[in-house]
Each structure stands twice: as structure tokens, then as C-alpha cells.
């Protein structure tokens, strides 16, 4: 099958889909899930802001110092407004920091998308004075475009030592499509917006996430902000008349030719309005998605066996092969290293149990000597059967075995909480937001925040929704 010389470029079908998608075509589940994704994205950004993380502060300080004129789009930190592209840059950086964002769970590819699309789309929706329903519909289009591109590319962009980020390869196209839709651009300009974003994407690399390097640096955060900014710029430049290839994915020297490495499939537009939306999962824990099932399995073993951390003698964690090499750092130098470490995440779970919270992946908790001591008892093992399961289903299975007081207890979990098979409800997400704002006091703070307020689709103007989120943030100071 010749994937590069199709008479009717599939990018045109994607643009047709983006242009034609309407709120009325979205079913109730899709509307709710999309609204949850938007709320969650801003909530996790507020959590990073509350922790005063340096990468977000650096990007935002630079943007504010170089701003000129009045802004149209809100900084989620509460520090005013900037132009839509600069707000997307700052908010997109904050959204990435905690690694608490959405995950695409698909047999063809995994990665993050909404963490790029939402900051860009919200900034444009504010500027264009769009409704919550229009924002939700634009996000649906952006996510479907991103997933279509990722499925066409496959996984080889991360194989054999390569380290291209999925959120930089495909999410800028989806984000540009979402922004173009919010700007009411026609099909030709949607194509140009996607073409500009695809051709000019930073295609962020991942050396900072290599356990062998052990650096875990802040470039990971900034590159997501850059991808969101690029999406806004691409849509704006397209509206102004800038052109780009209409085959940025499938054409000669395009995304597939550069990143698929023989693993490509045909690029296909969605077969239904939200055909692939269930691929987008949210997170229960403030850490890499690859450690969640191991954490949850550990929690269940400790609770079911009434096991205290003093009783634990040895822990074996079986995971898919790439997780056994990329999530094994034991040098916990900063919060990011903790979030990407199976040994740390499991040890922290043993120490904290069901009370583990986002603050357990921040200083000073990450340097707790008791947790670091427990890490020595955690062994990580590659499991071929779990690797095959992941490749066939997109799931993130883990088998945890805990030896305690002379007995061995085992538990397998295939899909984390937050996935389509185990979705989070509105109460879960509002509770997550509360815990990010004031760890340990979820039951008392912000009890007045209701689902009706958290659902952006209920707002006639996205500006009002963003103001509500900022007011919620402002009620509690770091």
C-alpha cells in the first residue's frame, strides 16, 4: 500500500471533519468527558502554580517583562492577561510541570495531547469570546486530529534510542485545528494552520527523561508551552494568509516520513464525531502514567493484607519492557525524577498507603529518608507478557508482589483509574483540584465548588469560566 501518494490527501478529510463538527453531534458522555479534561487541565496547572515551580515562573516572568499592549487571555497564575499566544505559552508550561495530565491510551501510540491543546484553545476562546460549548467542540476536534496522526505514525519515533515527544509531534496539529475552529476559519485555512504547526513544531526531544542521564530538567515543561504557543501562532498566521503544505503528515519529508520509521499506517479521519475520545485518560496520581497501576496494586495489597511498611521485606514490580528501563531511576534529585521513578512511587505508596497525595511528589517529601530506604527493597522486572498486553490493548499493566512477615501477596492491575475502563467522575476531579490547592484538607476547603461550576459547557463565555477557576485558586495562597 502506497501511503505517500494518495489521490485525495487524508489531511483534507481531517480538515473537513474539523470544519463540520458541531456541538449537537457530541453525545452526552463525550460532552462530559471533554469538559472534565478542560477542568482537569487548568486544575493541574493551578497545582503547579501553588507549588511555585521554577520553570513556570521563568517562562511567565519573561513573557510579562516583554509584553506590550493590553492582553486578551488570562494567565492561570492570576498574574494578569497576555496575548493569546503568550498566555498559551505560559499556561502550557504550567500544565506540564506536575506530569498530572491526560494520557492517550491506544495500542498504536501513547502520549499527551490535551495538555497542549487546552492551553492553546482556552486562550483563543477567551480572545474570540467563545462559549463553553464551542470550546468543548474545538477540543473534540483537536483531540481526534492528534489521535489520528499518532495512530498513523505508530511507536517507532520512541524506539531504538529515539526520543521524540508525542505531544510535540502530533498535538500541535490538533491544537492548531482547535484554534482554527474557534476562529471560524474555512477548510483551506484549517489545512494551513495544521500544516504550519506540523512543519514548524519543535518536536521536543527527551534526554531529560533518560534514567541513564539522570537529569530530569525543566526543558520538558517549556517545550509543551512552546507547542501550545505554536498552535495559536499557526492559526493566527493562517488567518492572515500564510500558507503551508496540505500534506504535512503524509507528504514527502512530512511527519510520517520523518518519524514512522516503517511503522506507519494510513492516516484516517474519525469515523464518528468522537470515535477515539475514550482513548484519552486522566490521572489519579501526580506522576508518570506508567507507575500508576503499580502504585494502586501496592495500595490494595497493603490494605487487603493489613500490612504496615515495617513489615515489608521485598517488593517485586513486573511491568512492560520499556517501563523497566525508562522508569527505574533511583537518584531522586528533584520532583520530576520522583514522578518518573517506579522504585520511588512504590516506596512512597508503601510509606503513605492510601493517603498518598500530590505533595508526596514534591519537596521535602521526595527526600524523606524512610521512603528512600524503602526504595532499596523494590525490584523492577521486565515482563514479556505484559509488554504484549500493552502493545495489543494500550493498557499499562503491572504485577506487584510484596513479601511481608514471611508471606507473599500479589496483585495485577491492567488499567489505571482514569482510563476509559475505570473513569473518574466529577467528584473525583473536584477532589483532585481541592487536594492540589490545599493538600490534606480536601474535606473542608472549597466545598462550595459544584459540578455545574466546573463544567465549562455551561458558560456562555469562556472568560467567565476562567475567572471562576482563578477565583478558586485565589482563595488559598501557597
Q: Find all residues with CB under 8 Å of 260, minimum gap 6, and list them.
A: 152, 153, 154, 156, 157
Specify the higher pLDDT residue, 160 or 103: 103
Specify the higher pLDDT residue, 89 or 164: 89
Q: What is the mean pLDDT of the chain?
A: 93
- The mean pLDDT value for 363-382 works out to 97
pLDDT of 438 > 80? The answer is no
Q: Where residue 6 falls among pLDDT bands split at 50, 70, 90? A: low
Beta bridge pairs of residue 74 = 81
Q: For residues 299 and 404, is the Cβ–Cβ distance under 8 A?
A: no
Separation of alpha carbons 105 and 278, rounded Å: 8
Q: Where residue 78 falls among pLDDT bands split at 50, 70, 90? A: very high
Q: Where residue 20 falls among pLDDT bands split at 50, 70, 90? A: very high
* 459-469 pLDDT, tens digit each: 999 999 999 99
pLDDT of 447 > 60? The answer is no
- The mean pLDDT value for 333-350 works out to 96
pLDDT of 312 > 90? The answer is yes
Give the chain's length.
Answer: 478
Q: Tell me the torsion sign for CA atoms 466, 169, 218, 86.
A: negative
Q: What angle do CA 165, 171, 176 make, to 5 degrees?
A: 145
pLDDT of 477 > 70? The answer is no
pLDDT of 321 > 80? The answer is yes
- Per-residue model confidence (pLDDT) at position 439: 65
Percent of the chain whose predicted confidence (pLDDT) is above 70: 95
pLDDT of 443 > 70? The answer is no
- Per-residue model confidence (pLDDT) at position 1: 33
Separation of alpha carbons 32 and 230, rounded Å: 28
**Helix intervals (H) in 51-83:** 54-65
- Per-residue model confidence (pLDDT) at position 4: 46
Separation of alpha carbons 257 and 275, rounded Å: 26
- Per-residue model confidence (pLDDT) at position 2: 44
Amino acid at each position: 500500500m502506497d501511503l505517500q501518494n494518495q489521490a485525495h490527501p487524508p489531511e483534507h478529510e481531517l480538515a473537513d471533519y474539523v470544519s463540520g463538527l458541531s456541538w449537537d453531534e457530541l453525545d452526552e458522555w463525550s460532552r462530559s468527558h471533554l469538559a472534565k479534561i478542560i477542568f482537569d487541565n487548568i486544575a493541574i496547572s493551578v497545582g503547579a502554580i501553588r507549588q511555585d515551580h521554577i520553570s513556570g515562573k521563568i517562562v511567565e516572568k519573561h513573557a510579562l517583562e516583554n509584553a506590550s499592549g493590553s492582553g486578551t487571555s488570562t494567565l492561570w497564575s492570576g498574574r494578569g492577561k497576555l496575548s493569546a499566544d503568550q498566555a498559551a505559552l505560559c499556561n502550557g508550561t504550567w500544565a506540564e510541570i506536575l506530569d498530572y495530565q491526560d494520557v492517550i491510551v491506544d495500542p498504536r501510540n501513547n502520549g499527551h495531547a490535551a495538555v497542549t491543546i487546552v492551553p492553546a484553545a482556552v486562550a483563543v476562546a477567551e480572545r474570540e469570546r467563545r462559549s463553553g460549548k464551542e470550546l468543548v467542540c474545538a477540543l473534540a476536534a483537536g483531540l481526534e486530529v492528534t489521535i489520528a496522526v499518532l495512530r498513523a505514525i505508530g511507536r517507532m519515533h520512541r524506539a531504538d534510542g529515539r526520543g521524540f515527544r508525542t505531544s510535540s509531534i502530533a498535538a500541535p496539529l490538533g491544537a492548531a485545528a482547535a484554534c482554527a475552529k474557534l476562529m471560524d476559519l474555512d477548510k483551506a485555512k484549517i489545512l494551513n494552520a495544521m500544516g504550519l504547526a506540523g512543519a514548524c513544531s519543535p518536536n521536543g526531544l527527551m534526554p531529560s527523561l533518560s534514567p541513564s542521564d539522570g537529569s530530569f530538567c525543566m526543558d520538558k515543561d517549556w517545550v509543551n508551552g512552546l507547542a501550545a504557543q505554536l498552535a495559536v501562532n499557526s492559526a493566527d498566521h493562517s488567518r492572515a494568509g500564510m500558507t503551508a503544505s496540505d500534506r504535512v503528515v503524509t507528504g514527502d519529508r512530512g511527519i510520517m516520513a520523518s518519524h514512522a520509521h516503517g511503522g506507519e499506517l494510513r492516516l484516517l479521519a474519525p469515523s464518528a464525531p468522537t470515535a477515539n475520545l475514550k482513548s484519552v485518560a486522566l490521572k489519579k496520581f501526580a506522576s508518570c502514567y506508567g507507575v500508576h497501576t503499580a502504585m494502586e496494586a501496592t495500595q490494595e495489597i497493603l490494605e487487603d493484607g493489613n500490612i504496615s511498611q515495617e513489615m515489608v521485606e521485598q517488593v517485586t514490580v513486573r511491568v512492560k519492557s520499556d517501563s523497566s528501563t525508562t522508569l527505574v531511576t533511583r537518584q531522586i534529585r528533584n520532583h520530576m525524577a520522583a514522578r518518573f521513578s517506579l522504585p520511588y512511587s512504590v516506596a512512597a505508596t508503601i510509606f503513605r498507603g492510601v493517603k498518598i497525595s500530590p505533595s508526596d511528589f514534591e519537596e521535602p517529601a521526595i527526600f524523606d529518608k524512610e521512603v528512600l530506604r524503602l526504595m532499596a527493597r523494590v525490584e523492577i522486572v521486565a515482563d514479556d507478557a505484559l509488554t504484549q498486553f500493552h502493545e495489543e490493548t494500550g493498557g499499562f499493566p503491572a504485577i506487584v508482589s510484596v513479601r511481608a512477615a514471611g508471606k507473599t501477596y500479589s496483585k495485577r492491575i491492567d488499567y489505571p483509574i482514569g482510563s476509559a475502563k475505570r473513569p473518574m467522575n466529577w467528584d473525583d476531579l473536584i477532589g483532585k483540584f481541592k487536594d492540589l490547592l490545599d493538600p490534606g484538607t480536601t474535606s473542608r476547603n472549597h466545598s462550595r465548588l459544584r459540578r455545574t461550576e466546573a463544567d465549562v459547557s455551561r458558560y456562555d463565555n469562556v472568560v467567565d469560566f476562567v475567572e471562576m477557576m482563578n477565583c478558586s485558586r485565589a482563595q488559598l495562597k501557597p
